Structure 1
Amino acid sequence: MITLTWHGGAVAEITLDRPEALNALSTKMAEELIRVCGEVAASRAHAVVLSAAGAKAFCVGADLKERNGMSDADLLAQRPVFRAAFGAVLGLPQPSVAAVHGFALGGGTELALSCDLVAAEPGAVFGLPEVSIGLVPGGGGTQLMARRVGPARAADLVLTGRKIGFEEAVALGVVDRPAPSGGAREAALETARAIAANSPVATRAAKRALRHGAPLDLAAALDVEDNAWRTAALSADRREGVAAFNERRAPVWPGV
Protein backbone atom coordinates (compact mmCIF):
# COMPACT_ATOMS: atom_id res chain seq x y z
CA MET A 1 0.00 0.00 0.00
CA ILE A 2 3.00 2.28 0.53
CA THR A 3 6.15 1.76 -1.51
CA LEU A 4 9.56 3.35 -1.09
CA THR A 5 11.90 3.95 -4.04
CA TRP A 6 15.37 5.45 -3.94
CA HIS A 7 16.66 7.68 -6.72
CA GLY A 8 20.44 7.81 -6.62
CA GLY A 9 20.49 7.55 -2.84
CA ALA A 10 19.70 11.23 -2.32
CA VAL A 11 15.99 11.33 -3.23
CA ALA A 12 13.45 9.06 -1.56
CA GLU A 13 10.08 8.56 -3.27
CA ILE A 14 7.15 7.50 -1.09
CA THR A 15 4.27 6.21 -3.21
CA LEU A 16 0.66 5.79 -2.17
CA ASP A 17 0.03 2.44 -3.83
CA ARG A 18 -3.61 1.45 -3.58
CA PRO A 19 -4.89 2.49 -7.01
CA GLU A 20 -7.86 0.10 -6.99
CA ALA A 21 -9.31 2.25 -4.17
CA LEU A 22 -8.08 5.57 -5.65
CA ASN A 23 -5.42 5.50 -2.92
CA ALA A 24 -8.02 6.02 -0.19
CA LEU A 25 -6.42 5.94 3.25
CA SER A 26 -7.33 2.87 5.27
CA THR A 27 -6.07 2.25 8.79
CA LYS A 28 -3.50 -0.23 7.48
CA MET A 29 -2.30 2.20 4.82
CA ALA A 30 -1.95 4.94 7.43
CA GLU A 31 0.12 2.61 9.60
CA GLU A 32 2.38 1.81 6.66
CA LEU A 33 2.79 5.51 5.88
CA ILE A 34 3.93 6.12 9.46
CA ARG A 35 6.49 3.31 9.20
CA VAL A 36 7.89 4.37 5.81
CA CYS A 37 8.10 8.04 6.76
CA GLY A 38 9.98 7.02 9.89
CA GLU A 39 12.44 5.04 7.77
CA VAL A 40 12.98 7.99 5.44
CA ALA A 41 13.26 10.50 8.29
CA ALA A 42 16.05 8.43 9.86
CA SER A 43 17.89 8.06 6.55
CA ARG A 44 20.46 10.24 4.85
CA ALA A 45 18.01 11.21 2.10
CA HIS A 46 18.36 14.83 1.02
CA ALA A 47 14.81 15.26 -0.35
CA VAL A 48 11.53 13.35 -0.54
CA VAL A 49 8.81 13.00 -3.20
CA LEU A 50 5.30 11.90 -2.24
CA SER A 51 3.61 10.38 -5.30
CA ALA A 52 0.71 8.05 -6.04
CA ALA A 53 0.07 4.99 -8.19
CA GLY A 54 -2.71 4.70 -10.75
CA ALA A 55 -4.03 7.08 -13.38
CA LYS A 56 -7.09 8.52 -11.64
CA ALA A 57 -6.14 9.85 -8.24
CA PHE A 58 -3.40 11.02 -5.93
CA CYS A 59 -5.60 10.21 -2.93
CA VAL A 60 -9.33 10.60 -2.31
CA GLY A 61 -8.97 10.86 1.45
CA ALA A 62 -10.10 8.45 4.13
CA ASP A 63 -11.50 5.08 3.11
CA LEU A 64 -15.22 5.70 3.67
CA LYS A 65 -16.06 2.07 2.93
CA GLU A 66 -13.94 1.07 5.90
CA ARG A 67 -15.52 3.79 8.02
CA ASN A 68 -19.08 2.90 7.04
CA GLY A 69 -19.26 0.11 9.60
CA MET A 70 -17.38 1.92 12.36
CA SER A 71 -18.90 2.82 15.70
CA ASP A 72 -18.03 6.11 17.39
CA ALA A 73 -15.52 4.18 19.49
CA ASP A 74 -13.95 2.66 16.38
CA LEU A 75 -13.63 6.08 14.77
CA LEU A 76 -12.00 7.54 17.88
CA ALA A 77 -9.61 4.58 18.01
CA GLN A 78 -8.59 5.23 14.39
CA ARG A 79 -8.04 8.94 14.99
CA PRO A 80 -4.55 8.75 16.60
CA VAL A 81 -3.32 6.56 13.73
CA PHE A 82 -4.50 9.06 11.14
CA ARG A 83 -3.08 12.01 13.06
CA ALA A 84 0.25 10.23 13.27
CA ALA A 85 0.22 9.45 9.54
CA PHE A 86 -0.36 13.04 8.48
CA GLY A 87 2.10 14.17 11.15
CA ALA A 88 4.72 11.78 9.79
CA VAL A 89 4.59 13.46 6.37
CA LEU A 90 4.47 16.96 7.84
CA GLY A 91 7.32 16.14 10.20
CA LEU A 92 9.79 14.80 7.65
CA PRO A 93 13.08 16.61 8.33
CA GLN A 94 13.95 16.54 4.63
CA PRO A 95 12.34 18.97 2.17
CA SER A 96 9.38 17.22 0.54
CA VAL A 97 7.53 17.63 -2.75
CA ALA A 98 4.07 16.22 -3.52
CA ALA A 99 3.37 14.99 -7.08
CA VAL A 100 -0.37 15.37 -7.61
CA HIS A 101 -2.42 14.00 -10.49
CA GLY A 102 -6.15 13.36 -10.66
CA PHE A 103 -8.22 13.64 -7.51
CA ALA A 104 -6.63 14.92 -4.31
CA LEU A 105 -9.62 15.24 -2.01
CA GLY A 106 -9.92 15.54 1.75
CA GLY A 107 -6.92 13.72 3.14
CA GLY A 108 -5.39 13.76 -0.33
CA THR A 109 -5.25 17.55 -0.31
CA GLU A 110 -4.00 17.43 3.27
CA LEU A 111 -1.17 15.04 2.38
CA ALA A 112 -0.14 17.33 -0.48
CA LEU A 113 -0.22 20.39 1.79
CA SER A 114 1.85 18.51 4.38
CA CYS A 115 4.72 18.62 1.89
CA ASP A 116 6.85 21.72 1.46
CA LEU A 117 6.09 22.07 -2.24
CA VAL A 118 3.29 20.80 -4.48
CA ALA A 119 3.74 19.83 -8.13
CA ALA A 120 0.58 19.11 -10.11
CA GLU A 121 -0.60 18.62 -13.66
CA PRO A 122 -3.75 19.53 -15.62
CA GLY A 123 -6.66 17.42 -14.47
CA ALA A 124 -5.64 17.61 -10.82
CA VAL A 125 -8.59 18.33 -8.54
CA PHE A 126 -8.16 19.55 -4.96
CA GLY A 127 -10.76 19.94 -2.25
CA LEU A 128 -11.62 19.67 1.42
CA PRO A 129 -15.20 18.32 1.22
CA GLU A 130 -15.41 16.97 4.78
CA VAL A 131 -18.30 19.25 5.82
CA SER A 132 -20.46 17.60 3.15
CA ILE A 133 -20.33 14.31 5.11
CA GLY A 134 -20.57 15.85 8.57
CA LEU A 135 -16.87 16.13 9.35
CA VAL A 136 -14.14 18.74 9.68
CA PRO A 137 -10.80 18.37 7.89
CA GLY A 138 -8.68 16.45 10.38
CA GLY A 139 -5.33 15.97 8.67
CA GLY A 140 -4.23 19.57 9.02
CA GLY A 141 -6.46 20.95 6.26
CA THR A 142 -7.92 23.93 8.10
CA GLN A 143 -4.50 25.09 9.28
CA LEU A 144 -2.33 24.21 6.30
CA MET A 145 -4.76 25.64 3.76
CA ALA A 146 -5.05 28.89 5.73
CA ARG A 147 -1.27 29.19 5.79
CA ARG A 148 -1.14 28.53 2.06
CA VAL A 149 -3.89 30.77 0.72
CA GLY A 150 -4.94 33.00 3.62
CA PRO A 151 -7.80 32.65 6.14
CA ALA A 152 -10.62 33.98 3.94
CA ARG A 153 -9.80 31.83 0.92
CA ALA A 154 -9.33 28.82 3.18
CA ALA A 155 -12.74 29.49 4.74
CA ASP A 156 -14.29 29.54 1.26
CA LEU A 157 -12.82 26.12 0.46
CA VAL A 158 -13.43 24.50 3.85
CA LEU A 159 -16.93 25.83 4.56
CA THR A 160 -18.35 25.21 1.09
CA GLY A 161 -16.45 21.97 0.58
CA ARG A 162 -16.07 22.92 -3.07
CA LYS A 163 -13.48 21.38 -5.37
CA ILE A 164 -10.96 23.39 -7.35
CA GLY A 165 -9.28 22.42 -10.59
CA PHE A 166 -5.68 22.74 -11.66
CA GLU A 167 -5.81 26.34 -12.90
CA GLU A 168 -7.53 27.70 -9.80
CA ALA A 169 -5.17 25.72 -7.57
CA VAL A 170 -2.22 27.35 -9.32
CA ALA A 171 -3.78 30.80 -9.06
CA LEU A 172 -4.53 30.38 -5.35
CA GLY A 173 -1.04 29.10 -4.57
CA VAL A 174 -2.05 25.56 -3.66
CA VAL A 175 0.23 24.38 -6.48
CA ASP A 176 3.82 25.62 -6.57
CA ARG A 177 5.16 23.69 -9.55
CA PRO A 178 2.69 23.50 -12.47
CA ALA A 179 3.58 20.64 -14.80
CA PRO A 180 2.39 19.59 -18.26
CA SER A 181 -0.13 16.79 -18.63
CA GLY A 182 1.32 13.58 -17.22
CA GLY A 183 4.32 15.45 -15.83
CA ALA A 184 3.60 15.99 -12.13
CA ARG A 185 5.80 13.15 -10.90
CA GLU A 186 8.75 14.15 -13.08
CA ALA A 187 8.35 17.80 -12.02
CA ALA A 188 8.40 16.71 -8.38
CA LEU A 189 11.46 14.51 -8.93
CA GLU A 190 13.23 17.31 -10.81
CA THR A 191 12.51 19.69 -7.93
CA ALA A 192 13.69 17.12 -5.38
CA ARG A 193 16.90 16.56 -7.34
CA ALA A 194 17.54 20.31 -7.40
CA ILE A 195 17.07 20.43 -3.62
CA ALA A 196 19.21 17.32 -3.12
CA ALA A 197 22.13 18.95 -4.96
CA ASN A 198 22.43 21.42 -2.09
CA SER A 199 23.76 20.90 1.42
CA PRO A 200 21.42 18.56 3.33
CA VAL A 201 22.35 20.26 6.59
CA ALA A 202 21.43 23.65 5.13
CA THR A 203 18.20 22.56 3.45
CA ARG A 204 16.95 20.79 6.59
CA ALA A 205 17.81 23.84 8.71
CA ALA A 206 16.14 26.15 6.19
CA LYS A 207 13.01 23.97 6.28
CA ARG A 208 12.87 24.25 10.06
CA ALA A 209 13.23 28.03 9.83
CA LEU A 210 10.46 28.29 7.25
CA ARG A 211 8.09 26.02 9.16
CA HIS A 212 8.75 27.19 12.71
CA GLY A 213 9.16 30.87 11.94
CA ALA A 214 6.01 31.36 9.85
CA PRO A 215 3.48 31.58 12.74
CA LEU A 216 5.67 33.87 14.88
CA ASP A 217 6.09 37.62 15.02
CA LEU A 218 9.05 38.94 13.04
CA ALA A 219 11.47 39.31 15.95
CA ALA A 220 10.86 35.76 17.17
CA ALA A 221 10.98 34.42 13.61
CA LEU A 222 14.36 36.06 13.04
CA ASP A 223 15.65 34.24 16.14
CA VAL A 224 14.46 30.97 14.58
CA GLU A 225 16.32 31.90 11.40
CA ASP A 226 19.45 32.72 13.41
CA ASN A 227 19.39 29.29 15.03
CA ALA A 228 19.07 27.68 11.60
CA TRP A 229 21.95 29.80 10.30
CA ARG A 230 24.16 28.73 13.22
CA THR A 231 23.37 25.06 12.59
CA ALA A 232 24.50 25.38 8.99
CA ALA A 233 27.40 27.77 9.61
CA LEU A 234 29.07 25.47 12.13
CA SER A 235 28.64 22.33 10.02
CA ALA A 236 31.09 20.38 7.90
CA ASP A 237 28.77 21.09 4.96
CA ARG A 238 29.47 24.82 5.21
CA ARG A 239 33.22 24.21 5.24
CA GLU A 240 32.93 21.89 2.23
CA GLY A 241 30.69 24.34 0.36
CA VAL A 242 33.14 27.23 0.79
CA ALA A 243 36.11 25.04 -0.16
CA ALA A 244 34.34 23.72 -3.26
CA PHE A 245 33.42 27.23 -4.35
CA ASN A 246 37.00 28.42 -4.07
CA GLU A 247 38.37 25.30 -5.76
CA ARG A 248 35.77 25.61 -8.55
CA ARG A 249 34.42 22.09 -8.12
CA ALA A 250 31.18 20.43 -7.17
CA PRO A 251 30.81 20.00 -3.40
CA VAL A 252 30.78 16.56 -1.82
CA TRP A 253 28.52 17.11 1.14
CA PRO A 254 29.44 15.37 4.40
CA GLY A 255 25.75 15.72 5.26
CA VAL A 256 23.75 14.77 8.31
Structure 2
Amino acid sequence: MTQNGTVRLEVKGRRADVVLARPDARNALNLPMCEDLVEAFALIAANSEIDLAVLRAEGPVFSAGADMKERNGRDEAWVMMRRRAAFRAYETVGACSIPVIAQVHGPLVGSGGEIAMSCDFIIASTAATFRFPEPQWGTVGATQRLQRVVGVARAKELLYTGRVMDAEEAHRIGLVTRLTAPEALVQTVDETADCILKAPPLAQKLTKQCIDQGSRTDLASGIAIELSAIDRLLSESDWRGSLQQFNTSVGTAARKKKA
Protein backbone atom coordinates (compact mmCIF):
# COMPACT_ATOMS: atom_id res chain seq x y z
CA MET A 1 0.00 0.00 0.00
CA THR A 2 1.23 3.51 -0.75
CA GLN A 3 1.69 6.20 1.90
CA ASN A 4 -1.88 7.54 1.89
CA GLY A 5 -3.53 4.17 1.31
CA THR A 6 -5.55 5.29 -1.72
CA VAL A 7 -3.51 3.23 -4.19
CA ARG A 8 -2.30 -0.33 -3.73
CA LEU A 9 0.83 -1.59 -5.48
CA GLU A 10 0.97 -5.34 -6.05
CA VAL A 11 4.10 -6.86 -7.55
CA LYS A 12 4.19 -10.45 -8.76
CA GLY A 13 7.21 -11.46 -10.78
CA ARG A 14 7.75 -9.07 -13.67
CA ARG A 15 4.26 -7.57 -13.44
CA ALA A 16 3.03 -4.78 -11.18
CA ASP A 17 -0.63 -3.97 -10.56
CA VAL A 18 -1.46 -0.40 -9.56
CA VAL A 19 -4.91 -0.52 -7.96
CA LEU A 20 -7.10 2.51 -7.26
CA ALA A 21 -8.27 1.68 -3.75
CA ARG A 22 -10.98 4.15 -2.68
CA PRO A 23 -14.02 2.01 -3.52
CA ASP A 24 -16.17 3.66 -0.83
CA ALA A 25 -15.60 6.99 -2.62
CA ARG A 26 -16.09 5.39 -6.05
CA ASN A 27 -12.33 5.82 -6.57
CA ALA A 28 -12.74 9.57 -6.93
CA LEU A 29 -9.38 11.25 -7.47
CA ASN A 30 -8.31 13.37 -4.51
CA LEU A 31 -4.97 14.90 -3.55
CA PRO A 32 -3.76 11.83 -1.59
CA MET A 33 -4.55 9.61 -4.58
CA CYS A 34 -2.59 11.92 -6.89
CA GLU A 35 0.37 11.62 -4.52
CA ASP A 36 -0.03 7.85 -4.24
CA LEU A 37 -0.11 7.39 -8.01
CA VAL A 38 3.16 9.30 -8.32
CA GLU A 39 4.66 7.20 -5.52
CA ALA A 40 3.49 3.90 -7.00
CA PHE A 41 4.99 4.61 -10.40
CA ALA A 42 8.19 5.91 -8.81
CA LEU A 43 8.51 2.57 -7.01
CA ILE A 44 7.94 0.77 -10.31
CA ALA A 45 10.60 2.89 -12.01
CA ALA A 46 13.06 2.04 -9.23
CA ASN A 47 12.51 -1.72 -9.65
CA SER A 48 14.42 -2.96 -12.69
CA GLU A 49 12.76 -6.39 -12.45
CA ILE A 50 9.29 -5.03 -13.31
CA ASP A 51 8.60 -5.09 -17.05
CA LEU A 52 4.85 -4.39 -17.24
CA ALA A 53 2.16 -2.62 -15.22
CA VAL A 54 -1.62 -2.96 -15.11
CA LEU A 55 -3.67 -0.06 -13.74
CA ARG A 56 -7.03 -1.18 -12.39
CA ALA A 57 -9.52 -0.32 -9.65
CA GLU A 58 -11.35 -1.84 -6.70
CA GLY A 59 -15.12 -1.88 -6.48
CA PRO A 60 -17.77 -1.47 -9.17
CA VAL A 61 -16.54 1.94 -10.41
CA PHE A 62 -13.21 2.51 -12.13
CA SER A 63 -13.21 6.17 -11.11
CA ALA A 64 -15.94 8.75 -10.55
CA GLY A 65 -13.57 11.55 -11.54
CA ALA A 66 -12.24 14.36 -9.38
CA ASP A 67 -13.36 14.41 -5.76
CA MET A 68 -15.26 17.70 -5.88
CA LYS A 69 -15.87 17.57 -2.09
CA GLU A 70 -12.19 18.45 -1.63
CA ARG A 71 -12.88 21.96 -2.91
CA ASN A 72 -15.31 22.86 -0.12
CA GLY A 73 -13.84 25.76 1.84
CA ARG A 74 -10.76 26.00 -0.38
CA ASP A 75 -9.45 29.07 -2.16
CA GLU A 76 -8.30 29.49 -5.76
CA ALA A 77 -4.64 28.86 -4.91
CA TRP A 78 -5.49 25.49 -3.37
CA VAL A 79 -7.58 24.47 -6.39
CA MET A 80 -4.69 25.31 -8.75
CA MET A 81 -2.27 23.36 -6.54
CA ARG A 82 -4.61 20.39 -6.60
CA ARG A 83 -4.96 20.51 -10.38
CA ARG A 84 -1.19 20.62 -10.82
CA ALA A 85 -0.94 17.56 -8.57
CA ALA A 86 -3.38 15.75 -10.85
CA PHE A 87 -1.34 16.63 -13.92
CA ARG A 88 1.81 15.35 -12.20
CA ALA A 89 0.02 12.07 -11.55
CA TYR A 90 -1.11 11.72 -15.18
CA GLU A 91 2.36 12.63 -16.45
CA THR A 92 4.01 10.11 -14.13
CA VAL A 93 1.78 7.32 -15.46
CA GLY A 94 2.41 8.42 -19.05
CA ALA A 95 6.17 8.66 -18.55
CA CYS A 96 6.49 5.10 -17.26
CA SER A 97 9.13 3.41 -19.41
CA ILE A 98 7.44 -0.01 -19.44
CA PRO A 99 4.10 -0.98 -21.05
CA VAL A 100 1.10 0.09 -18.95
CA ILE A 101 -2.37 -1.40 -19.54
CA ALA A 102 -5.54 0.23 -18.18
CA GLN A 103 -8.15 -2.34 -17.12
CA VAL A 104 -11.55 -0.62 -17.07
CA HIS A 105 -14.53 -2.54 -15.74
CA GLY A 106 -17.20 0.02 -14.83
CA PRO A 107 -18.05 3.73 -14.98
CA LEU A 108 -15.15 6.03 -15.82
CA VAL A 109 -15.64 9.77 -15.41
CA GLY A 110 -13.47 12.83 -16.00
CA SER A 111 -10.16 12.44 -14.18
CA GLY A 112 -10.61 8.67 -14.31
CA GLY A 113 -10.40 9.03 -18.07
CA GLU A 114 -7.22 11.08 -17.77
CA ILE A 115 -5.66 8.31 -15.69
CA ALA A 116 -6.71 5.61 -18.17
CA MET A 117 -5.61 7.63 -21.21
CA SER A 118 -2.20 8.12 -19.60
CA CYS A 119 -1.69 4.37 -19.95
CA ASP A 120 -0.53 2.85 -23.23
CA PHE A 121 -3.96 1.44 -24.05
CA ILE A 122 -7.28 0.53 -22.48
CA ILE A 123 -8.86 -2.91 -22.28
CA ALA A 124 -12.46 -2.51 -21.16
CA SER A 125 -15.51 -4.52 -20.24
CA THR A 126 -18.70 -4.04 -22.22
CA ALA A 127 -20.19 -2.91 -18.90
CA ALA A 128 -17.86 0.10 -18.77
CA THR A 129 -19.13 3.60 -19.49
CA PHE A 130 -17.22 6.78 -20.26
CA ARG A 131 -18.12 10.38 -19.45
CA PHE A 132 -16.19 13.66 -19.61
CA PRO A 133 -18.45 16.18 -17.84
CA GLU A 134 -15.91 18.83 -16.85
CA PRO A 135 -17.69 21.84 -18.47
CA GLN A 136 -20.99 20.59 -17.07
CA TRP A 137 -19.42 20.72 -13.62
CA GLY A 138 -18.18 24.26 -14.15
CA THR A 139 -14.55 23.38 -14.65
CA VAL A 140 -12.07 22.60 -17.47
CA GLY A 141 -10.35 19.25 -18.00
CA ALA A 142 -9.55 16.39 -20.41
CA THR A 143 -9.15 18.95 -23.21
CA GLN A 144 -5.71 17.71 -24.28
CA ARG A 145 -5.47 13.94 -23.94
CA LEU A 146 -9.01 13.27 -25.14
CA GLN A 147 -8.64 15.14 -28.43
CA ARG A 148 -5.37 13.33 -29.14
CA VAL A 149 -7.09 9.98 -28.69
CA VAL A 150 -10.50 10.48 -30.35
CA GLY A 151 -9.99 13.59 -32.49
CA VAL A 152 -10.85 17.24 -32.01
CA ALA A 153 -14.52 17.19 -33.05
CA ARG A 154 -15.40 14.12 -30.99
CA ALA A 155 -13.59 15.49 -27.95
CA LYS A 156 -15.54 18.74 -28.22
CA GLU A 157 -18.88 16.94 -28.51
CA LEU A 158 -18.15 14.66 -25.55
CA LEU A 159 -16.95 17.53 -23.37
CA TYR A 160 -19.62 20.05 -24.38
CA THR A 161 -22.47 17.62 -23.69
CA GLY A 162 -20.99 15.56 -20.86
CA ARG A 163 -23.03 12.61 -22.15
CA VAL A 164 -22.43 9.02 -21.09
CA MET A 165 -20.73 6.97 -23.80
CA ASP A 166 -21.06 3.18 -23.76
CA ALA A 167 -18.12 0.84 -24.18
CA GLU A 168 -19.03 -0.13 -27.73
CA GLU A 169 -18.85 3.48 -28.90
CA ALA A 170 -15.64 4.07 -26.94
CA HIS A 171 -14.14 1.09 -28.74
CA ARG A 172 -15.40 2.25 -32.12
CA ILE A 173 -13.81 5.70 -31.81
CA GLY A 174 -10.49 4.37 -30.53
CA LEU A 175 -10.62 5.28 -26.85
CA VAL A 176 -10.79 1.58 -25.95
CA THR A 177 -8.34 -0.73 -27.72
CA ARG A 178 -9.90 -4.07 -26.80
CA LEU A 179 -13.43 -4.82 -25.62
CA THR A 180 -14.44 -7.94 -23.72
CA ALA A 181 -17.41 -9.43 -21.91
CA PRO A 182 -17.34 -8.49 -18.20
CA GLU A 183 -16.56 -12.05 -17.13
CA ALA A 184 -13.64 -12.24 -19.58
CA LEU A 185 -11.97 -8.92 -18.71
CA VAL A 186 -9.44 -10.20 -16.17
CA GLN A 187 -8.46 -13.15 -18.36
CA THR A 188 -8.08 -10.92 -21.41
CA VAL A 189 -5.82 -8.50 -19.52
CA ASP A 190 -3.79 -11.38 -18.07
CA GLU A 191 -3.34 -12.97 -21.50
CA THR A 192 -2.35 -9.64 -23.03
CA ALA A 193 0.13 -9.01 -20.22
CA ASP A 194 1.63 -12.49 -20.63
CA CYS A 195 2.00 -11.93 -24.37
CA ILE A 196 3.80 -8.62 -23.82
CA LEU A 197 6.11 -10.17 -21.24
CA LYS A 198 7.25 -12.82 -23.73
CA ALA A 199 9.20 -10.19 -25.68
CA PRO A 200 12.65 -9.00 -24.54
CA PRO A 201 12.10 -6.13 -22.07
CA LEU A 202 14.54 -3.71 -23.71
CA ALA A 203 12.86 -4.16 -27.10
CA GLN A 204 9.48 -3.35 -25.51
CA LYS A 205 10.83 -0.29 -23.69
CA LEU A 206 12.51 1.05 -26.82
CA THR A 207 9.38 0.41 -28.88
CA LYS A 208 7.33 2.45 -26.40
CA GLN A 209 9.94 5.20 -26.40
CA CYS A 210 10.03 5.36 -30.19
CA ILE A 211 6.25 5.54 -30.53
CA ASP A 212 5.87 8.17 -27.81
CA GLN A 213 8.67 10.37 -29.10
CA GLY A 214 7.80 9.79 -32.76
CA SER A 215 4.18 10.80 -32.25
CA ARG A 216 5.37 14.29 -31.38
CA THR A 217 7.51 14.89 -34.45
CA ASP A 218 7.70 14.45 -38.25
CA LEU A 219 8.39 11.17 -40.04
CA ALA A 220 12.08 11.86 -40.81
CA SER A 221 12.78 12.71 -37.19
CA GLY A 222 10.80 9.67 -36.10
CA ILE A 223 12.94 7.40 -38.27
CA ALA A 224 16.06 8.92 -36.69
CA ILE A 225 14.59 8.12 -33.26
CA GLU A 226 14.00 4.51 -34.33
CA LEU A 227 17.51 4.14 -35.78
CA SER A 228 18.95 5.40 -32.50
CA ALA A 229 16.88 2.80 -30.63
CA ILE A 230 18.06 0.05 -32.97
CA ASP A 231 21.67 1.07 -32.38
CA ARG A 232 21.13 0.87 -28.63
CA LEU A 233 19.40 -2.51 -28.95
CA LEU A 234 22.29 -3.95 -30.96
CA SER A 235 24.86 -2.77 -28.42
CA GLU A 236 22.97 -3.60 -25.21
CA SER A 237 20.94 -6.74 -25.90
CA ASP A 238 21.40 -10.35 -26.89
CA TRP A 239 19.76 -9.74 -30.26
CA ARG A 240 21.33 -12.83 -31.80
CA GLY A 241 19.83 -14.98 -29.06
CA SER A 242 16.43 -13.37 -29.63
CA LEU A 243 16.72 -14.07 -33.36
CA GLN A 244 17.62 -17.70 -32.72
CA GLN A 245 14.69 -18.07 -30.32
CA PHE A 246 12.34 -16.58 -32.94
CA ASN A 247 13.61 -18.92 -35.66
CA THR A 248 13.23 -21.89 -33.34
CA SER A 249 9.64 -20.98 -32.46
CA VAL A 250 8.75 -20.52 -36.14
CA GLY A 251 10.24 -23.90 -36.99
CA THR A 252 8.37 -25.58 -34.14
CA ALA A 253 5.08 -24.02 -35.24
CA ALA A 254 5.65 -25.17 -38.83
CA ARG A 255 6.34 -28.72 -37.74
CA LYS A 256 3.19 -28.79 -35.62
CA LYS A 257 1.16 -27.54 -38.57
CA LYS A 258 2.45 -30.34 -40.80
CA ALA A 259 1.84 -33.03 -38.18
Please, what TM-score do these two structures have when normalized by structure 1?
0.89
User: Structure 1 residue 182 and structure 2 residue 187: aligned?
Assistant: no
Aligned position for 1:244: 245
Secondary structure of 2:101's counterpart equals strand
Could you tell me how far 1:248 is from its partner in structure 2?
A: 5.8
Confirm or deny: 8 A CA contact 2:136 2:160 kept in the other structure. Answer: no
Pairwise CA RMSD:
1.7
Looking at structure 2, the residues matched to 184 and 248 of structure 1 have their Cα atoms a distance apart, in angstroms, of 28
Aligned position for 2:129: 125
- More relative contact order, 1 or 2 (CA 8 Å, 6+ apart): 1
Could you tell me how far 1:245 is from its partner in structure 2?
A: 3.8
| Alignment of structure 1 residues 89-128 onto 2, 5 Å | 89-128=93-132
Looking at structure 2, the residues matched to 68 and 239 of structure 1 have their Cα atoms a distance apart, in angstroms, of 60
Looking at structure 2, the residues matched to 239 and 80 of structure 1 have their Cα atoms a distance apart, in angstroms, of 45
Q: 1:247 to 1:165 in 2, by over 3 A?
A: closer
Instruction: Report which of the two structures shows the higher radius of gyration computed on alpha carbons.
Output: 2
* Structure 1, unaligned runs of 5 or more: 250-256
Looking at structure 1, the residues matched to 71 and 29 of structure 2 have their Cα atoms a distance apart, in angstroms, of 11
Aligned position for 2:10: 5
Secondary structure of 1:175's counterpart equals coil
Secondary structure of 2:212's counterpart equals helix
Aligned position for 2:256: none
User: Structure 1 residue 53 and structure 2 residue 58: aligned?
Assistant: yes
C-alpha distance after superposition, 1:222-252 (max 9, x if no partner):
1122222222222224243124345669xxx
Secondary structure of 1:70's counterpart equals coil
Looking at structure 1, the residues matched to 110 and 218 of structure 2 have their Cα atoms a distance apart, in angstroms, of 30
Aligned position for 2:22: 18
C-alpha distance after superposition, 1:127-171 (max 9, x if no partner):
21101112111xxx3222222222222222223222211111111
Could you tell me how far 1:79 is from its partner in structure 2?
A: 2.6
User: Structure 1 residue 154 and structure 2 residue 155: aligned?
Assistant: yes
* Structure 2, unaligned runs of 5 or more: 1-5, 251-259
Could you tell me how far 1:4 is from its partner in structure 2?
A: 1.2
C-alpha distance after superposition, 1:37-60 (max 9, x if no partner):
1011222211110000012x1111
Secondary structure of 1:59's counterpart equals coil
% of aligned pairs identical? Answer: 35
Q: 1:218 to 1:123 in 2, by over 3 A?
A: same
User: Structure 1 residue 79 and structure 2 residue 83: aligned?
Assistant: yes
Confirm or deny: 8 A CA contact 1:96 1:192 kept in the other structure. Answer: no
Looking at structure 1, the residues matched to 201 and 132 of structure 2 have their Cα atoms a distance apart, in angstroms, of 33
Looking at structure 2, the residues matched to 28 and 147 of structure 1 have their Cα atoms a distance apart, in angstroms, of 28
Looking at structure 2, the residues matched to 104 and 233 of structure 1 have their Cα atoms a distance apart, in angstroms, of 42
Aligned position for 1:63: 67
Secondary structure of 1:182's counterpart equals helix
Please, what TM-score do these two structures have when normalized by structure 2?
0.88
Looking at structure 1, the residues matched to 129 and 57 of structure 2 have their Cα atoms a distance apart, in angstroms, of 14
Secondary structure of 2:29's counterpart equals coil
